[in-house]
Structure 1
């Protein structure tokens, strides 16, 4: 089955593909998204994330592959950045003390992207200011509506092989897709209860390195970038998929206390 073969590749190259991380977007206004986090291993950007408390960052579970990043002391979060390849005065680089994947993100040694969500406990609290600030989560579980305009930002890769991250934060506007359309295309790999997806117009998309970044709709974070069609982020047939943040509110609140 063609779809199944593509899903097998997701674990290797999630959100992988085209010439830049954010497709069809533009450079974000400097520090207009003070909640954005660059998750780095050995000083290299791997995923996006969102500061939800002074000591916690929310991201995607697949961003931490235990087979590759077994030493969590190598994992750091960079806050307050615009250009992640410059030593900007407002940047805060904080080591990750503990990573907490959703308990259902892996079952029987297999990833379940229906629960592709993770919390990173920071070693030190972030110092909040105009460059670094927390993003408020949705207050309750709410059904998302199709065609709502949203946006996502990230430092995703600039090369087809995903070797180099974008220097500066990029952003793009996207529209939510009907869950029924997502389910129709992704079949059993899309869980309508825990996931949402965006319209695949072939021009606007997130790509490799943008996984874990928040999808913002009407100033509220609704999703976390999870996966897209492997090898072609702007594929017009398969919608891009996010885990639905509001569904995981009870788990998040219980975990961070």
Structure 2
């Protein structure tokens, strides 16, 4: 088991979750242009004239019309942000490579996990962003939602890409970066964060992963995916602060496999008694057919 050397103490998070204190990447590797073209950037329309295009959070496509991100990314001071004030970008490793309209989509709606409570941190921190029209399969690809849970014996290295800031004074990076990680036991995250003063009770619907190199999150990395093979296994909601790279430190993700029933209902309109979802929307049956067609098309 990994032993974590704690050389600094970060300030306690507030009771309400804020994107300004969210997870980020420093110390990563620059991504190639088409290396992670399932990645999306949630962008504030009022800031798209900036180099980083108003990047707020990361996410990953699970259909050509749906991206998975962190629910806390979609809140400011416990209030849901307005979908029409944001857009999604995908299909390039550089945020400023947005001249072609096929890389930009308007947002139709957000669907927050029904058991996520903004004022109560961490649990069920996952959400779906739906676009008003699908991305082109020529420009992007989609990730698989896992059909089996990942274990700590998983042999391969996982990846987490993101446009988070590369230093504490920046808001984001226009260049996509990534880190490599291995999944570990949840108690490792509980021990590490509790020692730093950030109390977290790790649940079965959370996933702990340790970067292979000294790296940490920074502004704009909330919602980044943990990708193992072609499966989207986790959605980032907690990492170390962006001021210290003293040691490899674990990141905490929402475990996607634990939310498959809710995703089936939200994205595909498939009823499942175990989902507990309360966000089913009218017309989702047609959406399910449309989304399935998109997946088949993207694989052709």
* Offset at residue 189 of structure 1 (A): 1.5
Name the SS of the counterpart of 2:89 in structure 1: strand
Counterpart of 2:89 in structure 1 is 78
Equivalent-residue separation in structure 1 for 2:144 and 2:26 (angstroms): 26
* Offset at residue 221 of structure 1 (A): 1.8
Determine if the alignment matches structure 1 residue 45 to structure 2 residue 55: yes
How do residues 11-26 of structure 1 correspond to structure 2 at under 5 angstroms? Answer: 11-12=17-18, 13-15=20-22, 22-26=25-29
| Larger RCO, structure (CA 8 Å, separation 6 or more) | 1
Determine if the alignment matches structure 1 residue 152 to structure 2 residue 169: no
Q: How many aligned residue pairs are there?
A: 248
- Alpha carbons of 1:234 and 1:243: their partners in 2 closer, same or farther (altered >3 Å)? farther
> Which whole-Å deviations, capped at 9, do the CAs of 1:27-53 have from their partners, x for residues lacking one?
111111121101111231011111111
Equivalent-residue separation in structure 2 for 1:252 and 1:183 (angstroms): 27
- Alpha carbons of 1:52 and 1:181: their partners in 2 closer, same or farther (altered >3 Å)? same
Which one of 169, 178, 183 corresponds to residue 171 of structure 1? 178
Which one of 129, 132, 141 corresponds to residue 149 of structure 2? 141
How do residues 219-234 of structure 1 correspond to structure 2 at under 5 angstroms? Answer: 219-230=230-241, 232=243, 234=245
Counterpart of 1:205 in structure 2 is 216
Structure 1: gaps of 5 or more residues: none
Structure 2: gaps of 5 or more residues: 1-8, 49-53, 270-300
Equivalent-residue separation in structure 1 for 2:44 and 2:247 (angstroms): 32
Counterpart of 1:194 in structure 2 is 205
CA RMSD of aligned residues (A): 2.8
Equivalent-residue separation in structure 2 for 1:61 and 1:156 (angstroms): 17
Equivalent-residue separation in structure 1 for 2:107 and 2:85 (angstroms): 8
Confirm or deny: 8 A CA contact 2:161 2:178 kept in the other structure: yes
Name the SS of the counterpart of 1:7 in structure 2: coil
Equivalent-residue separation in structure 2 for 1:147 and 1:210 (angstroms): 25
- Alpha carbons of 1:120 and 1:175: their partners in 2 closer, same or farther (altered >3 Å)? same
Q: Which moved more, 1:29-38 or 1:227-236?
A: 227-236
Q: Which moved more, 1:182-191 or 1:29-38?
A: 182-191
Larger radius of gyration: 2
> Which whole-Å deviations, capped at 9, do the CAs of 1:209-229 have from their partners, x for residues lacking one?
111111112332211111123
Between Structure 1 and Structure 2, the one with more strand by share is: 1
Which one of 259, 275, 294 corresponds to residue 248 of structure 1? 259
* Offset at residue 249 of structure 1 (A): 0.6
TM-score of the pair, normalised by structure 2:
0.73
